[in-house]
A and B are shown apart, each in its own frame.
Chain A
């Protein structure tokens, strides 16, 4: 029953394009899905290692710009007259390179700030996001600055023996985002249930105790930062190729705040939290737009957030788990009792 639940949810979401014909709503689903992936990546850091990345949008934006530039090509003059010309590459390689470059920056930011951690990491991550925004804004030769990168091609997938498929329609983009979301979910779920995830939680809960049993703080925090940043970069890449236009506004602090709100209201440190929070705060603006003025929309947004956190300070998912009395953790722990040990080993 509990095992089937995620599959049932997946089935429901997989069916959406089959009955939903409204392009406006489908668009809302796609962009919400992209932000859920970003929120899930933030949750790995915030929820499992306890480190708040308040510049998380930097990785999202780096993924978006890198992926767009790899597939569009560029021609820039560096210092000392060195000229770099890049011919357009297949779009799928842009997606992969965007993910990797974002992950690399996750590594650098992590290495730089996890020696001191906590407040220091918050500050470094915010500053980093601001620097990336300024680069995107001012390195006009590469990024077109405020004029935006336009005509970004849609993602294409070459399947040997079957041919090329490009994600041009809303329907196909919906499934693309859903696919990336499922893969991200599986990655995070496997990580946090493993020895690596236990090490991360241990560092968050009690660092002295964690290191005393041999857990290397920097190693696991940096690992979390790399995976988290790469995943955010993948989301950014999807965003760029879906919207086909990207400007320095992708680096706005507002987007980081959106991700944080999604994670915290849904329930940080839970697998489903960012999805639940993401759906709610992805769709509030969409629903509110149909009947409220822009200012009122923001008020509604804020009011909803405060309401949720006031009533359910731990977030929605932990509250639901508590309400039904069985959490995943309790389920797993039950499997670990000596009495069930034999049956488990027999399988």
Chain B
């Protein structure tokens, strides 16, 4: 990365006055923040704060009631999820999400969808371009499985993997979709400390590829360790924002978390 002053001049993702209402429930009220190119930003907050809802709005899974979301200047409000992915904005899901009845290898092959170069005719007529494209995709899939460290499980059904590996596979699929920005929704929940350590290393490697990262996570040591900047949500609004050191001591944040700590434990 070049100097941080340069990256900070290039916001890629901007949320302006975003509000999401579910009937009478205000899940998000007037959310404003930006993520700069190459940054790792964490979005934290107690359960029900609206973090996943924010992800859904950014990635086209939900329409905001108010406000605008832009990625590199493109308005995302009316795009479908696959169109958002086309722009290079790729998410993972909070609940484990893999194609259960498909092999680990083919999960990644599905993730590579966007990189396929063959057209319908190439496929139907078995033209050389089809074979070449498939070979490239398979090579790429092996490489990605190697990157996240689950290549030995390539031939198993994804549903048969241990929990931690399924989470890694979810990230592998997102990486396969060639993201320029990755949105991770609680990627290490349910992982043991060793797996979490490994995941943090992976995150560093992904970041070094120039991928911008927006992270939702309850694991505070991890959040403090990897983030450039932290945005704290509570009841659908931002209560604090800044570098990890500033957030750690923020009394408002501590209060929000203490009030919800017990509930959070029960919820998982």
Contact = CB atoms under 8 A, between A and B. Distances in A.
Contacts of A336: 105, 138, 141-142, 154-155
Interface in B100-156: 100-103, 105-106, 109-111, 113-114, 116, 118, 120, 123-124, 126, 130, 133-135, 137-139, 141-142, 151, 154-155
B106 A213 contact: no
Nearest to A206: B99
A38 interface: no
Nearest to A209: B97
Contacts of A84: none
B interface bracket (residues with beta carbon within 8 Å of A):
35 or more
B197 to A, nearest CB: 25
B84 to A, nearest CB: 9
Interface residues of A, number: 32
A241 to B, nearest CB: 25
Contacts of B105: 333, 336
A141 interface: no
Contact of A214 (B82, B92, B154): B82
A291 B241 CA distance: 83
Given A211-B81, A211-B82, A214-B113, 15 more contacts: A190-B123, A195-B116, A195-B123, A195-B134, A199-B113, A201-B102, A206-B100, A209-B99, A213-B85, A213-B111, A213-B114, A213-B174, A213-B176, A333-B103, A333-B105
Ranked nearest first, the 3 interchain pairs of A and B with the lowest CB-CB distance are A214-B85, A211-B81, A195-B116
Contacts of A206: 97-100
Contacts of B184: none
Contacts of B130: 194
A333 B151 contact: no
A201 B134 CA distance: 17
Which of B99, B110, B114, B133 has most chain A Cβ within 10 Å?
Answer: B110
A202 B107 CA distance: 8
Contact of B173 (A187, A199, A213, A341): A213
A202 B110 contact: yes
A289 B198 CA distance: 67
Interface string A47-58: 000000000000
A208 B97 CA distance: 9
Given A209-B93, A333-B103, A341-B142, A198 B113 contact: yes
Interface of B: 59, 61, 80-82, 85-86, 90-93, 97-103, 105-106, 109-111, 113-114, 116, 118, 120, 123-124, 126, 130, 133-135, 137-139, 141-142, 151, 154-155, 173-174, 176-177
A210 interface: yes
A334 interface: yes
A201 B106 CA distance: 10
Contacts of B99: 201-202, 205-206, 209
B85 A211 contact: yes
A197 B102 CA distance: 12
Contact of A195 (B81, B86, B137): B137
Interface string A303-347: 000000000000000000000000001100110111001000100
A194 B90 contact: no
Interface in A188-225: 190-191, 194-196, 198-199, 201-202, 205-206, 208-217, 223
B142 A338 contact: yes
17 contacts: A190-B126, A195-B109, A196-B120, A198-B106, A199-B110, A201-B102, A201-B110, A206-B98, A209-B93, A209-B173, A211-B81, A213-B111, A214-B113, A329-B106, A330-B155, A337-B155, A341-B142
A48 to B, nearest CB: 12
Contacts of A202: 99, 102, 110, 113
Contacts of A212: 59, 81, 85, 90-93, 174, 177
A345 B135 contact: yes
Contacts of A216: 80, 82
Contacts of B102: 201-202, 205
Contact of B151 (A191, A211, A338): A338
A324 B23 CA distance: 54
Most-contacted residue by chain B among A191, A198, A330 (CB, 10 A): A198
A17 B81 CA distance: 54
Nearest to B122: A194
A333 B145 CA distance: 14
Contact of A215 (B61, B100, B113, B154): B113
Contacts of A329: 103, 106
